[in-house]
Chains A and B, each alone.
Chain A
Amino acid sequence: MLSQVLREIKKSGTTVRLDELSRRLGIESSALEGMLDYCVRKGILQDSVGDAVDGGCNCGSGSCGSGCEGYEGCPFIAKMPKMYTLQERGD
Chain B
Amino acid sequence: MTTGTFESGKKFAIDYGRDIEAEITRLQTLIEGTPTARSIYPPRWLAINLLEGDTSLRTKLMVLAGGQRLLDEAQVSIQRLERIYGDEAEIIIPDYRYGWINGLVRQAVTRSDAEELTPSDRIDRIVTNRLLGIPIFLLAMWAVFMLTSEVSAPYLDWIERIISGPVTHWAASILGMIGLSGSWVESLIVGGIITGVGGVLVFIPVLMFLYFSLTMLEDSGYMARAAFVMDRLMQVIGLHGKSFLPMLVGFGCTVPAFYATRTLENEKDRVLTGLLVPFMSCGARLPVYVLFAAIFFPRNAGTVVFSLYLLGIAVAVILGLVLKNTLFKGKEKSTFVMELPPYRMPNFHGAWLHTWERTGAFIKSAWTLIMAVSIILWFMLAIPAPGAEGSFANADVDNSLFATASGMVAPALEPLGYGTWEAAGSLMTGFVAKEVVVSTMAQIFGVNGQSAQTVEQPTFLEDLRLIFFGFIQATIDTLKSIPLIFGIDLLEQADSEVGSSALMRSVHANFQASSGGYGALAGLSFMVFVLIYTPCMAAIAAERQELGIKWMWVSIFGQLVLAWLLAFIVFQGGKALGWG
Contacts and interface: CB of A to CB of B under 8 A. Distances in A.
B257 interface: yes
Interface residues of A, number: 61
Contacts of B364: 69
Given A14-B333, A17-B128, 16 more contacts: A3-B95, A28-B105, A35-B98, A48-B242, A56-B260, A56-B262, A59-B259, A62-B545, A64-B253, A65-B253, A65-B434, A66-B284, A66-B369, A67-B283, A76-B214, A76-B252
8 contacts: A14-B241, A16-B337, A28-B102, A31-B105, A55-B262, A56-B262, A78-B218, A86-B336
The 5 closest A-B pairs by CB, nearest first: A56-B260, A75-B252, A69-B361, A55-B262, A72-B357
Nearest to B236: A14
B87 interface: yes
Contacts of A18: 337-340
Given A81-B224, A81-B341, A15 B253 contact: no
Interface in A37-54: 38, 42, 44-45, 48, 51-52
Interface in A72-87: 72-86
A81 B338 contact: yes
Interface of B: 53, 87, 90-92, 94-96, 98-99, 101-102, 105-106, 109, 116, 121, 124, 128, 207, 211, 214, 218-219, 221, 223-224, 227-228, 231-232, 235, 241-242, 245-246, 248-249, 251-257, 259-263, 282-284, 333-341, 354, 357-358, 360-362, 364-366, 369, 433-435, 535-539, 541-542, 545
Contacts of B231: 15
Contact of A15 (B105, B235, B362, B366): B235
Contacts of A35: 94, 98
A74 to B, nearest CB: 5
Contacts of B207: 67
B192 to A, nearest CB: 20
B245 A65 contact: no
Contacts of A44: 90-91
A51 B263 contact: yes
A74 B252 contact: yes
A66 B232 CA distance: 29
A48 B94 CA distance: 23
